[in-house]
């Protein structure tokens, strides 16, 4: 029963990830030879921006920006204690500037393409069994690198860029505590070293949820704190190169999964940035189809 529960819950956690503050790795592990593949669609939109010192109403030039993506996600258990996670998103960012404003500036409303390839290895290095619960300690290492040749250096146009064209390395520690009744909570803390002048960032996430054979649900709060060497948009040091801005964020959200038939299930969730720095105040949702084996 416990194995079954882990198996199901491990399918479903982390899809909208890539642009997003939510971590691509969870505290659930695959058994050896087992895996999951997910195709998901996500959509988020913002018309307010967290700038310093205050939030502004209306995205400069583009008024409102929506970001939609289709992601392919896979996770596979190499051993019972070592999983590999990969993710590739195709992203479309779309502004709402009028034709006239676009013509005035030589801008375009849309940027789209394959963004970054992301791969994580995660290793459960310690597991504590208790009477009615279990604590796993997991370490994860990840690489994210641009797959597409999308542009990140188009000045103000890059308000609708789909990524930072940056290669990053992330190390992460995860503590996962779950009870036999299905309630679980996990915390993760990581640090990401980033290229292309993107400030390095401290990442953290706290999640609480319920995982049973018939469904899975969790709520999370995720943070990114960028190094202070990053610049603030339209403040001293800003050069018009958005990747070097200091992006902080606090995002909350819900994720859910229901199995449908023979390893196939549906996943979905909602999420919203509740605070941030140099970031669109986006709210979004996602849905996806998961297949596990």
Partner 1 sequence: MINKNILSKMLLAVVATFTLVSCETESNYEEEVPSIANIAVSNAGFSVLEAAAVQGGVAVVLSNNNPNDASGDYTVFAPTNDAFARLGLNEETLGVLQTPFLTNTLLYHVSNGNLLGNAIYGGGSSTSVLGLDRRFIERGNDTFINGSKILATNINASNGTVHVIDKVMIATGVDIVQSAIALQSSQVFTSPELSFLVEAVIYADLAGALTASAGSPSFTVFAPTDQAFKDLGTALGLTFTVPADIRQLPKDLVATVLLNHVIGNNGKFTSELNAGTVTPLGGEDLTLGAFTNGTLTVTGAGNAQAANMVIPDVQTTNGIVHVIDRVLLPNLN
Considering the complex, what minimum distance in angstroms separates the CB of residue 288 from partner 1? Answer: 25
Does position 132 interact with partner 1 (CB under 8 A)? The reply is no
Q: Using CB under 8 A, count the residues that bind partner 1.
A: 52
How close are the terminal C-alpha atoms of the chain, in Å? 17
d(CA 269, CA 251): 13
Question: Does residue 56 have a cis peptide bond before it, meaning omega lies within 30 degrees of 0?
Answer: no
Examine residue 206 and tell whether it contacts partner 1 (CB under 8 A): yes
The residue range among 3-11, 128-136, 139-147, 163-171 that interacts with partner 1, by the rule CB under 8 A, is 128-136
- The answer to whether 274 and 251 are in contact (CB under 8 A) is yes
- Given the complex with partner 1, which of 33 and 237 has the nearer CB atom? 237
Nearer of residues 53 and 214 to partner 1, judged by Cβ: 53
Closest CB to partner 1 among residues 115, 204: 204
Which residues, in sequence order, are CB contacts of 278 under 8 Å at separation 6+? Answer: 50, 51, 52, 230, 232, 233, 245, 246, 247, 248
Q: Which two tokens stand for residue 144?
A: 């994210």
- Is 181 an interacting residue with respect to partner 1 (CB under 8 A)? no
Backbone Cα Rg of the chain? 19
Under the binding rule (CB under 8 A), the answer on residue 234 touching partner 1 is: yes
Residue with tokens 């038939």: 261
Q: Which of 33, 193, 237, 264 binds partner 1 (CB under 8 A)?
A: 237
Interaction between residue 240 and partner 1 (CB under 8 A): yes
Q: Considering beta carbons, is residue 29 or 225 the nearer one to partner 1?
A: 225
DSSP labels for 12-44?
SS--SGGGSSS-S--S--PPTT-EEEEEEEEEE
Q: Position of tokens 């189809």?
A: 289
3-state secondary structure of 157: helix
Closer to partner 1 by Cβ: residue 57 or 149: 57
Find tokens 């995205």 and name the residue.
Answer: 59
Residues 22-41: x where in contact with partner 1 by CB under 8 A, - otherwise, as a string: --------------------
The site for partner 1 (CB under 8 A) is made up of: 50-58, 60-61, 98, 100-101, 103-105, 128, 130-131, 135, 137, 155-156, 175, 177, 185, 187-189, 202, 204-206, 221, 223, 225, 232-240, 248-250, 275-277
């Amino acid at each position: 029963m416990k194995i079954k529960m882990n198996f199901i819950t491990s399918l479903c956690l982390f899809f909208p990830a890539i642009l997003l503050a939510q971590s691509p790795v969870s505290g659930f592990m695959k058994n050896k030879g087992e895996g999951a593949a997910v195709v998901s669609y996500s959509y988020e939109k913002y018309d307010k921006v967290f700038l310093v010192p205050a939030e502004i109403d209306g995205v400069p030039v583009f008024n409102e920006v929506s970001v939609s993506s289709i992601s392919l996600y896979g996770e596979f258990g190499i051993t019972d204690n070592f999983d590999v996670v990969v993710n590739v998103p195709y992203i479309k960012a779309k502004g709402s500037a009028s034709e006239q404003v676009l013509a005035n500036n030589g801008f375009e409303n849309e940027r789209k393409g394959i963004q970054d390839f992301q791969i994580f290895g995660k290793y459960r290095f310690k597991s504590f069994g208790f009477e009615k619960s279990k604590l796993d300690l997991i370490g994860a290492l990840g690489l994210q690198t641009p797959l597409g040749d999308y542009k990140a250096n188009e000045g103000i146009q890059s308000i609708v860029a789909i990524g930072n064209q940056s290669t990053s390395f992330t190390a992460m520690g995860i503590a996962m505590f779950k009870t036999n009744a299905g309630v679980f909570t996990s915390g993760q803390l990581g640090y990401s070293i980033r290229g292309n002048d993107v400030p390095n960032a401290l990442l953290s996430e706290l999640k609480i949820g319920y995982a049973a054979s018939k469904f899975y649900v969790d709520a999370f709060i995720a943070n990114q704190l960028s190094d202070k060497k990053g610049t603030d948009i339209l403040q001293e040091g800003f050069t018009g190169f958005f990747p070097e801005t200091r992006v902080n964020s606090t995002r909350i959200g819900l994720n859910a999964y229901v199995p449908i038939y023979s390893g196939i299930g549906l996943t979905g969730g909602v999420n919203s940035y509740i605070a941030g720095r140099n970031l669109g105040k986006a709210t979004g949702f996602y849905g996806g189809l998961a297949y596990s084996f």
